[in-house]
Amino acid sequence: MDIRTIHAGDWNAIAALEAAAYTDLGLSENRHVLESRSHATPNLCFVLDTGTELAGYLLALPQPAFRCPDLAMSTHDIERSPNLHLHDLVVAQRFRRRGLATMLVGRLTAAAIDQGYQRISLVAVGGSDAFWSAQGYQPHPEIALPAGYGPTALYMSRPIDDRTMSHA
C-alpha cells in the first residue's frame, strides 16, 4: 500500500469513495468542491494506492483555528495559518480495520511538521470522535459549526510537534 499525493487521474475514485462514505449522512460534497480542497496544499493531500485501486484518501488545507470550510462552497483564497484543517479522510469499507486511517494521519502529521504547522483541526462526523480522540484530538464542543456538518458533528484539534509524531 503506497501513500502518495493526489494525481489528476485520481479524482473519479476519490469522488466515489467520498460519496460512499458521506451520502447516507447527508454530507457528500460535489467533485468540484472536493478538488478545490486540495488546490491550496496539494502536498498535504494523499491517497492510499494499492497498485490497482485507491483504498482511501485524505484532504487537508490551511484554515484558521476554530473555523471550518462550508461543505457547499469551493475553497478559494486560502489564508496562511499555523492551523492545518484535516477536512476529509476516507478509507474504503473493505480496507478498514487495518490501521490505514492512522497511517494517513501519521503521514499528514509528519508533512505538517515539516511545513511548520502548529495545530491540526478537524470536524468529527458520523460518530468518528472516538477514533479521533484515540489519535490525540481534543473536542471543542463550544465551537459552533455550520448546520451542513450535521447535528452530531464535533470540532476537534490537537497541537503538533516532533514529540506528538509517535501518537499520530
Record the pTM.
Answer: 0.89
Kindly report, residue by residue over 80-128, the tens digit of the pLDDT: 789 999 999 999 999 999 999 999 999 999 999 999 999 999 999 989 9
Q: 85-110 in b/e burial notation, b at 16+ Cβ within 10 A? A: bbbbbbbbeebeeeebbebbbbbbbe
Closest Cα partner for 88 from 30, 142, 18?
A: 18
* Residue 77 pLDDT exceeds 90: no
3-state secondary structure of 15: helix
Question: What is the spatial distance between Cα 62 and Cα 96, in angstroms, rounded to a whole number?
Answer: 27
Q: Where are the domains of the chain?
A: 2-167
Task: Give the confidence band of 168 by pLDDT, cuts at 50, 70, 90.
Answer: very low
CATH number of 2-167: 3.40.630.30
